[in-house]
Amino acid sequence: MMPGMTLKLKGKITDDSDGFVINLGHSPKDIVLHFNPRFEEDVIVCNSQVCGKWQKEYRDDHLCFEPGDEIKLLVTFDEDEFQVKLPDGYQVTFPNRESCCHISYCCVKGGFSLTAFKLE
């Protein structure tokens, strides 16, 4: 994935989910975008990880989906930031802290069943 590209993710949040994670980066220990909706806290947490060390969390309380919902998320990668468009059109913005110029690692885990994955 290169700057200017958008990752489209579609899936169903499991009925018993307490959250899920989408990680983008270079490896499991070098993550430029950690997108983590947490239903028990009613918050979306974004972060980055460098050499296995988490950086400062960003929290957004605009959680417009819940367990059992089918959703589509659009993740746009720019030179300066990441934009995650939520199902209701709201956008979560998170800085490209490491000035990443390519993403080779993607991981989706937790209470989210991925049904479609497209890179444009």
Any domain includes 23: yes
Residue 110, pLDDT score = 96
Strand ranges, E, within the chain:
6-13, 20-27, 30-38, 43-50, 53-54, 58-60, 70-77, 81-85, 91-95, 105-110, 112-119
Mean pLDDT per 10-residue interval, the chain, length 120 residues: 96 97 96 97 97 96 96 96 98 94 95 95
Question: Does residue 71 sit within a domain?
Answer: yes
Indicate the pTM of the whole model: 0.95
Please report whether residue 1 resides in a domain: no
Closest CA to 84 of 118, 46, 119: 46
Q: How many structural domains are present in the chain?
A: 1
Pairing of strands 53-54, 58-60: unpaired
CATH number at residue 52: 2.60.120.200
| β-strand partners of 116 | 10
User: Does a structural domain hold residue 49?
Assistant: yes
Give the torsion sign (CA, 54, 57, 58, 61): positive
The pLDDT value recorded for residue 35 is 98
